[in-house]
Amino acid sequence: MTSIERFGLALLHRLDPETAHALSLSALKSGLAPLPGLVTSARLATTVAGLALPNPVGLAAGYDKNAVAVSALTRSGFGFIEVGAATPLPQPGNPKPRLFRLTEDRAAINRFGFNNEGATVIAGRLAARAPGPVPVGLNLGANKTSTDRAADFARVLALCGPHVDFATVNVSSPNTEKLRDLQGPAALAALLAGVMEVRAGLARKIPVFLKIAPDLTGDELASIAEVALASGLSGIIATNTTLSREGLQSVHRDQAGGLSGAPVFEKSTRVLAQLSQLTEGRIPLIGVGGVSSPEEAMAKIEAGASAVQLYTAMVYKGISLAAEVARGLDALLAARGFDTVAAAVGSNRGRWL
């Protein structure tokens, strides 16, 4: 982290978290944040569901909800980025305050509720973006007031699919009432059938991923794995935020919403390892939850992830974290005798089972 970034983070932490979030995006758009550019090597470069990634460290959805800073983010050291979530219609989300820093826990709780400017506006921004050095994907969401939430995901894909490199079906946010009910096998199979029908009609048949919650039982994970494999999904992102509050120290620990950051690392990695065992390499997995260091990224990969994503750790370590994790991961792969990221995937899965 540079002295400029350290100073900027200190200033942001004096502000309300949601205000700080918006200002950080503005700083990126304005070119005020120093960016490392592309980070890659022969070891780091990999392919996930047909996507050529310069490195396997991605940005999780939720940071750039409205695709306003895509150009800067693709030059921030990430190997891929995911924007959104986007819903068919614009919506304000839940009442403020709805984002809380849990500094003592290196975590955050949010209950945003899919606040975004709507798929039409977001599609326009994505269509206008200049080609960048890394794949750009979109997280698909459903409107809170929708009478057919399953159909919402297909609608967003139809609008935005031509302008992104991949899409993620997000049925795992805890901040839209009953959304997680769509993770049940029958509901999920029907939802994915609609999404995959839209994908089949796109000029480019982009990869479609499914993002799941970390609060699932073993039986629920097995059902999801079965549906995912049967539906033709390109991969699974494990995991979203958790409803658990175990072991937290912050005064904000009882706030409603999804918990992300360091406390989620172990739970999300165990879910990842279970999915890896259930799917037996037939579908790529992306590991998310608590990644804040090269060692944690490596642990996710060895548990079964072909790539990882981070977000909350940037609240505490800044945008430079992406490049730091990618470069550190390169060194770890070399030190452990792996010539490629792919060779390390699932190599220590048993540790988490």
Catalytic residues: 173
φ and ψ at 167, to 5 degrees?
A: -140, 150
Residues 240 and 114: beta-carbon distance below 8 Å: no
Residues 327 and 39: beta-carbon distance below 8 Å: yes
Strand, helix or coil at 230? helix
Q: What is the DSSP string of 137-180?
A: EEEE---TT-S-HHHHHHHHHHHHGGG-SEEEEE---TTSTTGG
**Of 327, 161, 152, 174, which is closest to residue 234 (Cα–Cα)?**
161
Residues 121 and 156: beta-carbon distance below 8 Å: no
In sequence order, what are the residues at sequence separation of 6 or more whose Cβ sits closer than 8 angstroms to the Cβ of residue 95?
none
In sequence order, what are the residues at sequence separation of 6 or more whose Cβ sits closer than 8 angstroms to the Cβ of residue 231?
189, 192, 193, 196
φ and ψ at 238, to 5 degrees?
A: -125, 110
Distance CA 206, CA 200 (A): 9
User: How many C-beta atoms surround the C-beta of residue 293 within 10 A?
Assistant: 19
Distance CA 163, CA 153 (A): 16
The sign one gets for the Cα dihedral 166, 172, 176, 180 is positive
Residues 261 and 240: beta-carbon distance below 8 Å: no
Please name the helix (run of DSSP H) or strand (run of DSSP E) that holds residue 98, with its range, or none: none
